[in-house]
Structure 1
Amino acid sequence: MRLLPTTMRWRVSAAIALVSALVAVSLSLLVREEFKNTQLADARQLQDERIQLVIRDYALSGQAALGSELNSPNVPRELLDAIKGGKRATVLQRDDTGAWIWAAAETDGKVLSLRSPYSDRDDALVSLDKVLVIGSVGVVVLSSLLGVALGSRLSRRLRKAAAAARRVAEGDSSARVGDAIGERPRDEAADLAQAVDAMADALQERLKAEQRVTADIAHELRTPVTGLVTAAELLPPGRPAELVRDRVKALRALVEDILEVARLDTATEKAELSEVSLGEFVRRRVAGVTPTAEVNVVAEHPVRTDPRRLERVLVNLLVNAGKHGAPPVTVDVDGQTVTVRDHGPGFSEELLRDGPSRFRTDSSDRGSGHGLGLTIAAAQVRVLGGRLAFANADGGGALVTLTLPDS
């Protein structure tokens, strides 16, 4: 169970509330102590002035006036000790009868004492305590609300920044963190947004440069590869000629795949939609690519899609299952969803985590693939507006799920 707030909004709010509470309590204690000392000093001064009047009146009339007493047995011991030698003194006494402020003086060997109630000043201190408590609670509540407001604003800006950064990571070249959070106020979040946007711009430029290089290389290779294909066909029959034709064919397929990846990277490809019966479409294509694969149509559903691109996706998935998986290969069609499963070792953790990547294959034999098949399939599915999910099936084997958009 979490005992402490985990989001920035609540952390900021809790920190402001805690600091406010500490400041309010400290100031309240300071004010209370100062008020208490001031009250006691005023009471002592007033009582001292009154005992001086009593002394002067006693010197004139020989009588104790203003409610004073002569040689009272109730005078506190500390007060008696303080007035020895003809001095005056005051003391605050608290007992079962209440709080009293005493003043006494020694004159002609006798003790003149005066006692006044102090409870009214204690009541004033209690009233002050109530005011300080209410004020402290009000300060904490208001500062907490202010903390929530400030924390919410900062948290909201950071959440927008995180959402924009995720869009950038997912390939949205138009997304920028600065646009998501705005230019004002100019705080740490804005500085972070500027840094992330600068990094995204640099990475995008680098990616475009790499894509241009890939496309240029593929275009430059296309002409000599075409010449090699023509020359290979003119070789006299024999085993060496067959080997040359096979390698030239593989090289030509690789160049065509690279050109297709380059075209898909430009994000300008558009799907040419038409209505097809998905179950029948898949059954015919699978039979032409992997005759041994089992096709199960759970629910037939017409879809609007690009047949050429959909066929390309199916062929690449079936070829990948045949190269890197193991039979039997099963294809299930359920409404707008197509799943392709083999019974091989399954996908690697890296592919499941990051998705397919060009020139990376799960096969331990690098010569058996270039990692372009699944990359092209995923890119074509994005053009179709669908989703392609990769997983390892229960019981072993790779499982690819193609979901086409609603018609």
Structure 2
Amino acid sequence: MRLFPQSLRWRLSAVIAVVSAVVAVALSLLVRTEFSRVQLADARRVQDERIQLVVRDYGLTGRAALGSELDSDRVPGPLRDAVRGGRRATYLERGRDGAWIWAAAETSGHVLSLRTSYRDRDAALAQLDNVLIIGSSGVLALGSVLGVVLGGRLSRRLRRAAVAARRVAEGDARTSVGDTIGARPRDETTELAQAVDAMAAALRERLVAEQRVTADIAHELRTPVTGLVTAAELLPPSRPAELVRDRVRVLRSLVEDILEVARLDTAAERAELVELSLADFVRRRVPPVVPSAEVLVLAAAQARTDPRRLERVLVNLLLNAERHGAPPVTVEVDGLTLRVRDHGPGFAEDLLRDGPSRFRTASSDRGGGHGLGLTIALAQAKVLGATLELANAEDGGALATLSLPAEPAD
């Protein structure tokens, strides 16, 4: 169970609220302590002035004036001890009958004492407490609101930056993180967005350069490979000639795959959509590729898609299952969803985690290859607006699921 909110917005709001509460409480305690001290000092001063008048009047008349008492037994013990030796003193007494401010002085062996209620000053302190509580609550509420506003603004900018960064990662060259979040205010978020845009631009330039080199190499190889194919066909029948023809065919297939990947990398490919029965399409295309594969139609549906690209995806998945998996190979048609499954060792964990990568095979257990088949299938599926998911079946084997869109992208 999470004890603290994970959102930056609420974390920032909580920090500002806690800081506001600590500051408000500290200031309130400081104000209350100082007010209480000043109030008590003032009461002592007034009471001391009054006892001086009482002592002066007692010396002239011999009577205790201003409500004072002579040798009263109610004088607190600490005060009585403090005035011994002819001194004056004040004392704050709190008891069941309330708070009292005392003043006493010793004269001619007698103790003159004066007592005044401290209730009014306590009431003023209570009023101050109420004001401080209300003020502290207001500060806490204002701090919380300010935290929510500031945190929400920062969180929204970061979320927009994250969404834009994901679009850039998906290949959207028109998206700019800086433009998405705006240039104001110019803070750390803006600097982060500019850094991400600069990194994306550098990576994009490098990727374009690599794609151009790959395409140029494939184009340059196409002509000599075509010549090799023609020359191989002219060789007289023999075992060496058969091996040469086989290797030339593999080389030609590799060059064609590289050219196809180069075309798909440009993101300029567009699907030519037609209406077709997906079940009939699969029944016709599977046997020529993998005759032993079993086709299961769970639910038939009409699909609007590009037959050539769909066939390319299906053939690559079938060839991958046949070459790198183990029989039986099954193809399921479930509405607009195709599932191609084998019963081999399954896909490697790094392929499932990172996705297909060109010139890297799924795993050593699944045989050799150039790693282009799944890469092309994934790219062609993207052109179709479909999703291709790779997984391992619970009871073993590789499982590829192609989901065609109900409404194809234009």
Judging changes above 3 Å, is the alpha-carbon distance between structure 1 residues 399 and 105 closer, same or farther for their aligned structure 2 residues?
Answer: same
Distance across 1 between alignment mates of 2:94 and 2:305: 94
In the alignment, what sits opposite 1:318? 318
Q: CA RMSD in A?
A: 1.6
Identity of aligned residues (%): 73
Distance across 1 between alignment mates of 2:348 and 2:148: 45
Cα distance, 1:76 vs structure 2: 2.2
Q: Secondary structure at the match of 2:328?
A: coil
Cα distance, 1:142 vs structure 2: 1.5
| 1:138-164 Cα distance to aligned partner (Å, 9 max, x none) | 211221121111111111211222222
| 1:266-319 Cα distance to aligned partner (Å, 9 max, x none) | 000111111111111110011221121111122221111111111111111111
In the alignment, what sits opposite 2:303? 303
Cα distance, 1:367 vs structure 2: 7.9
In the alignment, what sits opposite 2:140? 140
Q: Secondary structure at the match of 1:368?
A: coil
Runs of 4+ in 1 over 4 A off after TM superposition: none
Whether 2:207 is the aligned partner of 1:207: answer yes
Given that 2:17 and 2:143 are in contact with CA atoms closer than 8 Å, whether structure 1 keeps it comes out as yes
Judging changes above 3 Å, is the alpha-carbon distance between structure 1 residues 367 and 106 closer, same or farther for their aligned structure 2 residues?
Answer: closer
The amino acid of 2:237's aligned partner reads P
Given that 1:338 and 1:403 are in contact with CA atoms closer than 8 Å, whether structure 2 keeps it comes out as yes
Distance across 2 between alignment mates of 1:295 and 1:321: 14
In the alignment, what sits opposite 2:245? 245
The amino acid of 2:294's aligned partner reads E
The amino acid of 2:39's aligned partner reads Q
In the alignment, what sits opposite 1:379? 379
The amino acid of 2:197's aligned partner reads D
Cα distance, 1:34 vs structure 2: 0.6
Cα distance, 1:217 vs structure 2: 0.4
Q: Secondary structure at the match of 1:101?
A: strand
Which range is displaced more, 222-231 or 73-82? Answer: 73-82
Cα distance, 1:70 vs structure 2: 1.8
Cα distance, 1:365 vs structure 2: 7.8
Given that 1:363 and 1:369 are in contact with CA atoms closer than 8 Å, whether structure 2 keeps it comes out as no
In the alignment, what sits opposite 1:44? 44
Cα distance, 1:174 vs structure 2: 2.6
Which range is displaced more, 168-177 or 207-216? Answer: 168-177
In the alignment, what sits opposite 2:390? 390
Q: How does 1:163-202 map to 2 (within 5 A)?
A: 163-202=163-202
| 1:20-40 Cα distance to aligned partner (Å, 9 max, x none) | 111111111111111111111
Which range is displaced more, 87-96 or 150-159? Answer: 87-96
Q: Secondary structure at the match of 1:346?
A: coil
Cα distance, 1:125 vs structure 2: 1.3
Cα distance, 1:259 vs structure 2: 0.4
In the alignment, what sits opposite 1:29? 29
In the alignment, what sits opposite 2:61? 61
Q: Secondary structure at the match of 1:362?
A: coil
Q: How does 1:265-304 map to 2 (within 5 A)?
A: 265-304=265-304
Distance across 2 between alignment mates of 1:193 and 1:114: 76
Distance across 2 between alignment mates of 1:51 and 1:203: 89
In the alignment, what sits opposite 1:149? 149
Cα distance, 1:179 vs structure 2: 2.3
Given that 2:276 and 2:302 are in contact with CA atoms closer than 8 Å, whether structure 1 keeps it comes out as yes
Judging changes above 3 Å, is the alpha-carbon distance between structure 1 residues 384 and 89 closer, same or farther for their aligned structure 2 residues?
Answer: same
| 1:42-76 Cα distance to aligned partner (Å, 9 max, x none) | 11111111112222322332221111112222222
Cα distance, 1:106 vs structure 2: 2.4
Given that 2:218 and 2:255 are in contact with CA atoms closer than 8 Å, whether structure 1 keeps it comes out as yes
Cα distance, 1:183 vs structure 2: 1.3
Judging changes above 3 Å, is the alpha-carbon distance between structure 1 residues 128 and 148 closer, same or farther for their aligned structure 2 residues?
Answer: same
Given that 1:83 and 1:106 are in contact with CA atoms closer than 8 Å, whether structure 2 keeps it comes out as yes
In the alignment, what sits opposite 2:406? 406
Cα distance, 1:366 vs structure 2: 9.7
Cα distance, 1:167 vs structure 2: 2.1
Q: How does 1:354-365 map to 2 (within 5 A)?
A: 354-364=354-364
Distance across 2 between alignment mates of 1:322 and 1:3: 51
In the alignment, what sits opposite 2:110? 110
Distance across 2 between alignment mates of 1:349 and 1:378: 18
In the alignment, what sits opposite 1:84? 84
Residues matched between the structures, number: 407
Distance across 2 between alignment mates of 1:66 and 1:376: 107
TM-score, structure 2 normalization: 0.95
Cα distance, 1:172 vs structure 2: 2.5
Q: Secondary structure at the match of 2:2?
A: coil
In the alignment, what sits opposite 2:75? 75
| 1:216-258 Cα distance to aligned partner (Å, 9 max, x none) | 1001111111111122222222111111111111111110110
TM-score, structure 1 normalization: 0.96
Distance across 2 between alignment mates of 1:226 and 1:165: 43
Q: Secondary structure at the match of 2:364?
A: coil
Given that 2:324 and 2:366 are in contact with CA atoms closer than 8 Å, whether structure 1 keeps it comes out as no
Distance across 2 between alignment mates of 1:45 and 1:363: 93
Distance across 2 between alignment mates of 1:365 and 1:331: 22
Given that 2:164 and 2:175 are in contact with CA atoms closer than 8 Å, whether structure 1 keeps it comes out as yes
Unaligned 5+ runs, structure 2: none
